[in-house]
Chain A
Amino acid sequence: MAQVTLNNVKKIYAGGVEAVKGVSFDIPDGGFCVLVGPSGCGKSTLLRMVAGLETISAGEVAIGSRVVNQVEPADRDIAMVFQNYALYPHMSVYDNMAYGLRNRGTPKDEIEKRVAEAARILAIEPFLQRRPRQLSGGQRQRVAMGRAIVRKPQVFLFDEPLSNLDAKLRVQMRVEIKKLQRALGVTAIYVTHDQVEAMTLSDKLVVMNGGQVEQIGVPAEVYRKPASRFVATFIGSPPMNLLPAKLDGHGIIALGDALLQARDLREDLATGTAVEVGLRPEDIEIASEGAVGSLPFDVEFIEELGATQLFHGQLAGKPFVMQAATGEVTAQPGRLWISVDPDKVHVFDAESGVRLGKV
């Protein structure tokens, strides 16, 4: 087990394309770090550089106290779980797990012990003699995990391991991965484009976009105080509503005709600055008509989610979504008056998209 340190890591491809533009962060020993972002944001490339499957164009990757830039993947003391599992199709489950150990010259009885233990933890003991083809997606996923566990590596690397599973299994495996990582105490780096996985799994969330880090933090903090417009819309489901607005004095935002209060804004902002206001669908409350700080919301249709309902409509001429517990609000189209706690009003610079809050 070890901490992982990335120092200004860059990936520049032969054509001059910069896939990763200088990323620095570190993951403490035993930490679970999730890299999240849309496809093409460089998160997989970054993971593959840690794994040693891509060369590092600039910067340093260290596992423990050892810089591993020039170290072969096999010697980095890592284990990786791939998106399509990458199990050897011609080998039995047992051989799939034992292969890496055999290549390292691990004694036979030790291999047997470790595979048996991993199989027990993952509940795949009945399948050890089967071929991967004869297993279901979830079982293959477990075998891929088993192959990582038997190695007893310093770092687990996960490259979108759940994206080939159906929704129900995904939730189940997500919980199991987290439990397993806790139990083994191995540092983990996990790449995903699914913000729910990112929020639930990580103790350290790294949001990436366009080859750069947008925000690093614990999930709750990233959710509560997104550092940019991008993070704000990417983390949270349904995504945050963004509305163009203007500053109208300190802490007051003019949104069309209505006024909205925001807290913790930077103090150097001039009145009239163009901003974007972000309101999470789940932070919206019902207000009485014409109350101070209330906004008119024209509901057009309602989506039923069971426990909650999504109200789609227009606010100040822009599409807007509100989430409310079922039965709390009369579910019919028409005008609603809503308000938002000033603590939960997010304000971003209209141009750069940077959060305009106190640091």
Chain B
Amino acid sequence: MVEDRRLGDAIAYIILTIGVLICAFPVWLTFVASTWDNATIINGQLPLYPGPHFLDNYYRILFVGTSGSTREPVASMMLNSFVMAMTIAIGKIFISVLSAYAIVYYRFPFRMAAFWIIFVTLMLPVEVRIFPTFKIVSDLGMLDSYQGLAVPLIASATGTLLFRQFFMTIPDELLEASKIDGAGPFKFFKDTVLPLSLTTIAALFVIQFIYGWNQYLWPLLITTKDSMQTIVIGIRKMITTSDALTEWQLAMATAMLAMLPPVFVVIAMQRLFVKGLVETEK
């Protein structure tokens, strides 16, 4: 039996390793490509080990820009993407935590109607309402601005639903104990509901940050100036060039850079996740 288990373990490891290789290989290839010069890539003889141009390529793409159809340095694109993703994530958490608190803890006329209206917006993602949304944003003069990039993506029901479900698992006795302890609605929210929601907030932050970071269609419509474009659009523009050779090594470096912030967010928030899971209890 012991040997059987070893064999089973070995097979499991082999399958896992194959899986990891399949996932990691394109990333590795991207990284390798970002460290060679364009000539090596273009002639189809790309080695599988890193080349000598790492610093050149990354310096050039971060601070100088390509010589192709977008000449903006990636540092500014990253800043745009970061501001957009952060605004979406924080804005969404702020709005949904407050709206869920109102829906769960307050008794006001048309409470359920309000909830259902929020719920129905789940059926209206940006892609569906893109034309009216564009019209509104452009009429408000928010084209080529951070507000224009972020605000229309903040409004959605997912966060509200998530927090609503979570708040409903908080025992009523905690609210009652707070009342007797002299905590008003805002104090209860600040001292009890928010600390308990920390893990939910972290989860939503991760999801929304990546959602915002990966946006393509909306920034494509709303930005016209190169100085406002996001990194996802930057990559796209670098790859499709009409009158020049695609600078693959720079596009690949941009792709590597575009990967970093979401990875950092996941790693940072994962720690909070675990901490929250260990330290709190409903």
Q: Which residues of A contact B280 (CB under 8 A)?
A: 89-90
* Surface stretch bound by A, among B71-79, B120-128, B177-185: B177-185
**Apart from the given pairs A80-B180, A88-B177, A100-B181, 15 other A-B contacts in the complex at a CB distance below 8 Å:** A51-B176, A53-B180, A72-B179, A74-B180, A74-B181, A82-B176, A84-B171, A84-B173, A86-B174, A86-B177, A89-B196, A99-B191, A100-B182, A103-B187, A104-B182
In the complex, the answer to whether B177 meets A90 with C-beta atoms within 8 Å is no
B225 CB–A CB distance under 8 Å: no
Question: With A99-B181, A100-B181 as given contacts, are A131 and B279 in contact (CB-CB < 8 Å)?
Answer: yes
How far is the CB of B177 from the nearest CB of chain A, in Å? 4
Q: Which residues of A contact B279 (CB under 8 A)?
A: 90, 131
A138 CB–B CB distance under 8 Å: no
In the complex, the answer to whether A82 meets B177 with C-beta atoms within 8 Å is yes
In the complex, the answer to whether A89 meets B282 with C-beta atoms within 8 Å is yes
In the complex, the answer to whether B183 meets A103 with C-beta atoms within 8 Å is yes
**With the chains together, A88 CA to B279 CA distance in Å?**
12
Of all chain B residues, which has the CB nearest A53? B176
**With the chains together, A79 CA to B180 CA distance in Å?**
7
Question: With A89-B196, A89-B280 as given contacts, are A74 and B173 in contact (CB-CB < 8 Å)?
Answer: no
The residue that A74 contacts in the complex, of B179, B192, B196, with Cβ under 8 A, is B179
A73 CB–B CB distance under 8 Å: yes
A133 CB–B CB distance under 8 Å: yes
Q: List residues of A (66-85) whose CB comes within 8 Å of B's CBs.
A: 72-75, 78-80, 82-84
In the complex, the answer to whether A86 meets B195 with C-beta atoms within 8 Å is no
Q: List residues of B (234-282) whose CB comes within 8 Å of A's CBs.
A: 279-282
**With the chains together, A80 CA to B187 CA distance in Å?**
19
Of all chain B residues, which has the CB nearest A87? B177
Q: Which residues of A contact B182 (CB under 8 A)?
A: 74-75, 100, 103-104
**With the chains together, A78 CA to B177 CA distance in Å?**
11
Residues of chain B touching chain A, judged by Cβ–Cβ distance below 8 Å, are 171, 173-174, 176-177, 179-183, 187, 191-192, 195-196, 279-282
Which 4 pairs of residues, A with B, have the shortest CB-CB distance? Answer: A100-B181, A86-B173, A74-B182, A103-B182
Of all chain A residues, which has the CB nearest B181? A100
The residue that B176 contacts in the complex, of A80, A88, A133, with Cβ under 8 A, is A80
Q: Which residues of B contact A87 (CB under 8 A)?
A: 177
Highest count of chain A CB atoms <10 Å: which of B180, B280, B282: B180
* CB<8 Å pairs between A and B, sample of 28: A51-B180, A52-B179, A53-B176, A53-B179, A73-B176, A74-B181, A78-B180, A80-B180, A82-B176, A83-B173, A84-B171, A84-B173, A86-B171, A86-B177, A88-B174, A88-B177, A88-B191, A89-B196, A89-B281, A90-B280, A99-B191, A100-B180, A103-B181, A103-B182, A103-B183, A131-B279, A132-B281, A133-B281
Of all chain A residues, which has the CB nearest B196? A90
Question: With A89-B282, A100-B181 as given contacts, are A82 and B173 in contact (CB-CB < 8 Å)?
Answer: yes
How far is the CB of A321 from the nearest CB of chain B, in Å? 38
**With the chains together, A103 CA to B182 CA distance in Å?**
6
How far is the CB of B20 from the nearest CB of chain A, in Å? 36
Q: List residues of A (89-139) whose CB comes within 8 Å of B's CBs.
A: 89-90, 99-100, 103-104, 131-133
Q: Which residues of A contact B180 (CB under 8 A)?
A: 51-53, 73-74, 78-80, 100
In the complex, the answer to whether B195 meets A90 with C-beta atoms within 8 Å is yes
How far is the CB of B278 from the nearest CB of chain A, in Å? 10
**With the chains together, A88 CA to B173 CA distance in Å?**
10
Of all chain B residues, which has the CB nearest A75? B182
Highest count of chain A CB atoms <10 Å: which of B181, B183, B191, B281: B181
**With the chains together, A80 CA to B174 CA distance in Å?**
12
**With the chains together, A99 CA to B177 CA distance in Å?**
10
**With the chains together, A9 CA to B141 CA distance in Å?**
62
Highest count of chain B CB atoms <10 Å: which of A100, A132, A147: A100
In the complex, the answer to whether B195 meets A73 with C-beta atoms within 8 Å is no
How far is the CB of B253 from the nearest CB of chain A, in Å? 44
In the complex, the answer to whether B281 meets A86 with C-beta atoms within 8 Å is no
How far is the CB of B129 from the nearest CB of chain A, in Å? 39
Highest count of chain B CB atoms <10 Å: which of A75, A88, A104: A88
Highest count of chain A CB atoms <10 Å: which of B173, B174, B183, B195: B173
**With the chains together, A137 CA to B206 CA distance in Å?**
36
In the complex, the answer to whether B281 meets A88 with C-beta atoms within 8 Å is no
How far is the CB of B28 from the nearest CB of chain A, in Å? 43
Q: Which residues of A contact B196 (CB under 8 A)?
A: 89-90
**With the chains together, A90 CA to B191 CA distance in Å?**
9
**With the chains together, A132 CA to B192 CA distance in Å?**
14
Q: Which residues of B contact A53 (CB under 8 A)?
A: 176, 179-180
How far is the CB of B255 from the nearest CB of chain A, in Å? 41
Q: Which residues of B contact A80 (CB under 8 A)?
A: 176-177, 180
**With the chains together, A53 CA to B180 CA distance in Å?**
9
**With the chains together, A74 CA to B177 CA distance in Å?**
10
Q: Which residues of B contact A84 (CB under 8 A)?
A: 171, 173
**With the chains together, A102 CA to B271 CA distance in Å?**
31
Q: Which residues of A contact B174 (CB under 8 A)?
A: 86, 88
Of all chain A residues, which has the CB nearest B192? A88
Q: Which residues of B contact A90 (CB under 8 A)?
A: 192, 195-196, 279-280
Of all chain B residues, which has the CB nearest A95? B191
Q: Which residues of A contact B282 (CB under 8 A)?
A: 89
Q: Which residues of B contact A82 (CB under 8 A)?
A: 173, 176-177
How far is the CB of B273 from the nearest CB of chain A, in Å? 15
